[in-house]
Chain A
C-alpha cells in the first residue's frame, strides 16, 4: 500500500514541478506575439500520433492473442455455441472497421501536418462518397443483425415440453433453488407465506408443493433441456451463468425464465480445462445491495443417470420441516405426508 501512496505522491510532485517550470517559461512567452504555428511541437505531436498507433496496435494484437485462454470462457451450452460464433463474427467485422478507421485517423493526422507551403484541399462535399458510406455500413449491419435476430429468436423460443423445470429465486444475498419433486410440478407459492424457513413462501394447500425439494446446490442433467423459472422476492437480481452464456433478471412480482441445454458435465469440464477444481457457477449481475458480489450458486452438471440418482436421493422440503404440517388444512394433512414421504406413524 505504501508503495502506491509513494507512486501517487511522486506523480503529484512531478506534476507540480512541471507546472512550476512552466511558470517561468510562461512569463518569457508572455511578450511574444502569437498566432504563428509552432513548427517543432507540431512535428512532435504528429510523430506521436504515428507512434501511438503503432505501439498500441502491437500491444493490443499481442495481448489479444497471447492471453486468449484467459478471457475466452469455456463453453457448456448448446445455444452458447451460436452466441460465440456470432460474437467472433461480429469481432471480425467490427475489428476490421475499428482498425481501418483508427489507422486512417492517426495516419492522416501524421501525414497531413501543417506546412506553410501547402494549402489544404478544398473538398466540402461529395454525394457519392456519402452514399457509399451510408449504404455499405447499412448492408454490413443488416447482415450482422439478421444472424443476431435468428439466434435471439431461437434462444428465446418456447422451452421444449420435456424440459427439466427448476426454480431459482434471488434474495438478499443468496440464491435458493427448488425442484418439482416426484410429480414434476412446482407447487404454488405466495410471498405472504414467506418466513425464515419457508424461503419460497410455498403454499402447502397446493398438493404439488408437498414434494418440492430445495437443495443447496444446483444439479443439471447433461444433454437435456433445462428451464429455469426465475424470480426474486425483495429487489431485482440477475441470474448469470457465464459458461452457459445465460443471463436473465430475477424480478420481484414478475417471474421470468430461460431455457438451455448443458453440453458438458462438470467432470468433462474439469478434464477439458485441466483444472480439477473447476465448477460451474451462477453469479448475480444486477446490483442488489451490499452483498451483491457474494451471491454465488454452485452448479453441477451430471450425466443424466447420475442426475436422476441424485434427484431420487433428495428429501422433500416438507419432510425436512414437518413442523409446517400443522399449517396444512386437516383434511389434506395425510395426503401431504404421503406426498412428502413422511411415514404416517411418525406423527
Chain B
C-alpha cells in the first residue's frame, strides 16, 4: 500500500497541473478522468439501448401482427420493406441479430461494466483515478470506434450481419448463404475486435486499480460487493474474450483467405466449395467458451450493484457478505466449464454432454445462495423504496424466474425439446437481459447524484419501474408457454406449420406489452436528461449510505477528494447497528468514535487504528 500512496501523491500533482489548462476537448472528449469516461460509456450505452430497443419493436410488429402492412416504415427502411408492405425475411433476421449483438455487447457489457466499473471503482476504494487514465481513455475510444463501425454496417446495401448474435459458420462465413454474411458480417467482425480491445484495456485497468490503489484500511474483506463483482467480471472478461478473438480471426481467415477451419463438404449456390476438413462445431466451442462467461459478465456487475442498493435501502447489512463473495467466486470459476450446455444437440459426444449437465447444475447452487441471501437481507429490514431499490427488487425477481428455467435447459434430456425454442428466449431475456438491464437502471438512479450532483425525480422513477416491471413480465413470461408448445426462435412467421399455428393472440399481447415497456423508457430518458440540467441539487449523502464515494465532494473534481483520501476502518455494511446513533456508519468512521455500537472484537481493533495515520508505518491488512 505504501507504493500506492506515493503514486497518489504524484497523481494529485498531475491532476492540478492538468486542471489549469484543461480545454473542452481534454475535459469532456479525450478525458482521462474515470468519472467522465464512465459518463461517456453511459451515454453511448443509452444510445445503443435505444437503437436495440427500437429494433426489437420492428420485429415484434412482424411477430405480433403478421398481417399488418408496414408500408409506413418504408421512409426509414426503404427496400427492406417488400412490395407487399412486409418486412423482408432477411431484414427480419438482420434486426434480430443486431438487436442481440447490441444489447449483449454494447449495452449490457460496455454500457453496464464500462459505466459502473469506471465510475465506482476509484470512488469506492478511495483512489484518485484508475491505474492508467490513458488506457482507460483508449478503452472508451476503442468502444466508440467499434460502435461507429457497427452503426455504419446498419446502412450498407447488403444489410448488417444477419446470422444471429452467435454468428455460427458456415452461415456467417458464406456470402452466398445470405446477404448479411457479406460486407455486413465483415464489419461485425471488425467491430467486435475493436470491442474486445476496449474490454481488455478496461478490464486490465479495473483489476490493477482494485488490487493496487485501495486506500488505507480498505482490505479485500472491506470492499463493497460492487467492487468484488467488478473485479470478478473483469477477470472473466480478460480470460474469455481473447478466445472470441481467436474464433473471430479464424472466421476471418475462412471468409477471406480460403482456409477451412470451420468449413467442410459444402455445396452452395450451385457449386461445391473446395473447403474440406473443417468443423463448424469448433466455432461453437470457441464461441461459447466466451459466450457463457459473457452472460455472467453481464449479470455479475448487476448483482454487485443490487447488493449495494438492497443493503442500503433495507437499512441492513447485506446478509452473508462472505458467502456472497464466495458465490461470486464460485460462479466465476464454474462459468468457464459449462459452455457446452449451449450445444447439447449439435451431435457432440453424449458423454461430454453428461459432464456439462453436471457442471451446469453445480453452478445453479451459488446462484441460489445469492437469492436466499437477498431475501434474508430484506427480512426484518426497514425498506425504503427509492427507484433504485425498486429496480433492485425487480432484478431479484427476474433472477429467480429466469434462473429456474435454466434448470430445465441445463438438463440435456429436456433441452432436446426446448433448445432453440421460445423457452430459451424467455429464459435468457428474463435472467440476463431484464435482470442486467434493471441492474443498470438501478445503478443510474442510485449514483446519479454522484455523477451529476443532482437528483432524478423519484415519482417518474416509480412510474418507470412499474411500467417496465409489469411490461417486461408481460413480454417474456408468456414466451414460456409458446416455447413449451415448441415454437422455434428466429422465425419470421409461424403460418407454415400446423403445429405452430396457435398463439396469435399471445404474440399480439407480447407486442403490445413491448410497446408499453418501450414507452416507459422514454419517461426514464426524459427524467435522466432533464435532471442532469434541472434536477434538484443533491445533498452530500442522499441515501445515507456507508460507502466512500459519498464522502467525496458532491461534484468531485479530477482526483475525487480535494485533500487527503479518507481512511477506511470498517466494512461497508454497518447499517442499523445496535446502539449506534444513526442507522448507518460510513466506512471512514473509526471504531474509536463509535464505542456505543462496537462489537467486542471491534473495540479491540481500536488499538490498531492509531497506526493507520499518515506518517506512521502503514499497516497492510489486506491479509485480513
Task: Tally A residues with Cβ within 8 Å of B.
Answer: 133
Contact A125 B350 (CB under 8 A): no
Contact B416 A109 (CB under 8 A): no
Contact B361 A144 (CB under 8 A): yes
Contact B365 A138 (CB under 8 A): yes
Known contacts A46-B385, A98-B400, A172-B268: A287-B171 contact under CB 8 Å:
yes
Contact A120 B314 (CB under 8 A): yes
Instruction: Give the contact stretch, choosing among B232-240, B452-460, B561-569, B610-618.
Output: B452-460
Q: Report Cα–Cα, A86/B417, bound state, in Å.
A: 12
Known contacts A41-B462, A45-B462, A148-B413: A153-B350 contact under CB 8 Å:
yes
Contact B321 A104 (CB under 8 A): no
Contact A102 B347 (CB under 8 A): no
Q: Report Cα–Cα, A26/B535, bound state, in Å.
A: 7
Known contacts A22-B460, A108-B379, A113-B385: A277-B498 contact under CB 8 Å:
yes
Residues of A with C-beta under 8 A to B319? 123-126
> Which parts of A41-79 form the interface with B (CB within 8 Å)?
41-42, 44-46, 48-49, 52, 56, 60, 63-64, 67, 70-73
- Specify which of B93, B353, B485 is in contact with A152 (CB 8 Å cutoff): B353
Contact A94 B413 (CB under 8 A): no
Contact A30 B421 (CB under 8 A): no
User: Chain B: interface residue count, which band?
Assistant: 35 or more
- Specify which of A144, A151, A251 is in contact with B280 (CB 8 Å cutoff): A251
Q: Is A145 an interface residue (CB 8 A)?
A: yes
Instruction: Give the contact stretch, choosing among A32-40, A315-323, A325-333.
Output: A32-40
Residues of B with C-beta under 8 A to A294? 496
Interface string of A1-42 (1 = CB under 8 A from B): 100110110011011001100110111011011110110011
Q: Is B48 an interface residue (CB 8 A)?
A: no
Residues of A with C-beta under 8 A to B516? 11
Interface string of A229-272 (1 = CB under 8 A from B): 01001111010101101111101111011000000000000000
Contact B168 A236 (CB under 8 A): yes
Q: Report Cα–Cα, A109/B316, bound state, in Å.
A: 13
Q: Is B589 an interface residue (CB 8 A)?
A: no
Contact B321 A124 (CB under 8 A): yes
Residues of A with C-beta under 8 A to B385? 41-42, 45-46, 109, 113-114
Contact B171 A112 (CB under 8 A): no
Q: Is A205 an interface residue (CB 8 A)?
A: no
Q: Report Cα–Cα, A171/B455, bound state, in Å.
A: 57
Residues of A with C-beta under 8 A to B496? 293-294, 296
Instruction: Give the contact stretch, choosing among A129-137, A159-167, A206-214, A303-311.
Output: A129-137
Q: Is B493 an interface residue (CB 8 A)?
A: yes
Contact B317 A123 (CB under 8 A): yes
Contact B323 A130 (CB under 8 A): yes
Q: How many whole Å from B438's CB to the nearest CB in chain A? A: 13
Q: How many whole Å from A172's CB to the nearest CB in chain B? A: 7
Q: Report Cα–Cα, A281/B43, bound state, in Å.
A: 47
- Specify which of A109, A137, A191 is in contact with B364 (CB 8 Å cutoff): A137
- Specify which of B280, B384, B488, B541 is in contact with A254 (CB 8 Å cutoff): B280
Residues of A with C-beta under 8 A to B373? 130
Known contacts A105-B378, A145-B357: A283-B407 contact under CB 8 Å:
no
Q: Is A291 an interface residue (CB 8 A)?
A: yes
Contact A296 B65 (CB under 8 A): no
Q: Chain A residue with minimal CB distance to B408? A: A90
Q: How many whole Å from B358's CB to the nearest CB in chain A? A: 6
> Which parts of B395-413 form the interface with A (CB within 8 Å)?
396-397, 400-401, 404-405, 407-408, 411-413
Interface string of B323-349 (1 = CB under 8 A from A): 100000000000000000000011100
Q: Chain B residue with minimal CB distance to A44? A: B462
Residues of B with C-beta under 8 A to A152? 350, 353-354, 357, 411-413
Known contacts A254-B264, A293-B493: A7-B93 contact under CB 8 Å:
no
Q: Report Cα–Cα, A97/B457, bound state, in Å.
A: 36
Known contacts A22-B459, A48-B466, A281-B499: A35-B544 contact under CB 8 Å:
yes
Known contacts A87-B408, A125-B321, A251-B346: A134-B365 contact under CB 8 Å:
yes
Instruction: Give the contact stretch, choosing among B27-35, B104-112, B218-226, B469-477.
Output: B469-477
Q: Is A288 an interface residue (CB 8 A)?
A: yes
Residues of A with C-beta under 8 A to B357? 145, 148-149, 152
Q: How many whole Å from B597's CB to the nearest CB in chain A? A: 9
Contact A283 B536 (CB under 8 A): no
Contact A292 B281 (CB under 8 A): no
Contact A105 B382 (CB under 8 A): no
- Specify which of A29, A73, A172, A251 is in contact with B486 (CB 8 Å cutoff): A73
Interface string of B200-239 (1 = CB under 8 A from A): 0000000000000000000000000000000000000000
Q: Report Cα–Cα, A233/B523, bound state, in Å.
A: 50
Q: Report Cα–Cα, A117/B373, bound state, in Å.
A: 25
Known contacts A90-B407, A119-B583: A83-B397 contact under CB 8 Å:
no
- Specify which of A83, A137, A251 is in contact with B365 (CB 8 Å cutoff): A137
Q: Report Cα–Cα, A240/B490, bound state, in Å.
A: 14
Known contacts A34-B542, A123-B316: A133-B164 contact under CB 8 Å:
no
Q: Is A82 an interface residue (CB 8 A)?
A: yes
Q: Report Cα–Cα, A48/B578, bound state, in Å.
A: 31
Q: Chain A residue with minimal CB distance to B176? A: A234
Contact A251 B347 (CB under 8 A): yes
Known contacts A34-B539, A70-B485, A124-B573: A287-B490 contact under CB 8 Å:
yes
Residues of B with C-beta under 8 A to A33? 539
Q: How many whole Å from A308's CB to the nearest CB in chain B? A: 27
Contact B519 A12 (CB under 8 A): yes
Q: Report Cα–Cα, A65/B357, bound state, in Å.
A: 30
Q: Is A347 an interface residue (CB 8 A)?
A: no
Contact B347 A248 (CB under 8 A): yes
Contact A83 B417 (CB under 8 A): yes
Report A's interface with B, CB cutoff 8 A.
1, 4-5, 7-8, 11-12, 14-15, 18-19, 22-23, 25-27, 29-30, 32-35, 37-38, 41-42, 44-46, 48-49, 52, 56, 60, 63-64, 67, 70-73, 82-83, 86-87, 90-91, 93-95, 97-98, 101-102, 104-106, 108-109, 112-115, 118-126, 129-130, 133-134, 137-138, 141-142, 144-145, 148-149, 151-153, 155-156, 171-172, 191-192, 194, 196, 201, 230, 233-236, 238, 240, 242-243, 245-249, 251-254, 256-257, 277-279, 281, 283-294, 296
**20 cross-chain CB contacts under 8 A:** A19-B526, A26-B530, A29-B457, A71-B482, A94-B407, A104-B375, A112-B381, A125-B321, A129-B372, A145-B361, A148-B411, A156-B353, A191-B265, A249-B347, A281-B497, A288-B171, A289-B90, A289-B171, A290-B90, A291-B89
Beyond contacts A22-B527, A240-B488: 18 other A-B pairs, Cβ-Cβ < 8 A, are A19-B526, A19-B530, A34-B542, A60-B477, A90-B408, A90-B411, A119-B578, A134-B365, A149-B412, A191-B265, A230-B347, A238-B345, A277-B498, A281-B499, A284-B488, A285-B419, A287-B93, A287-B164
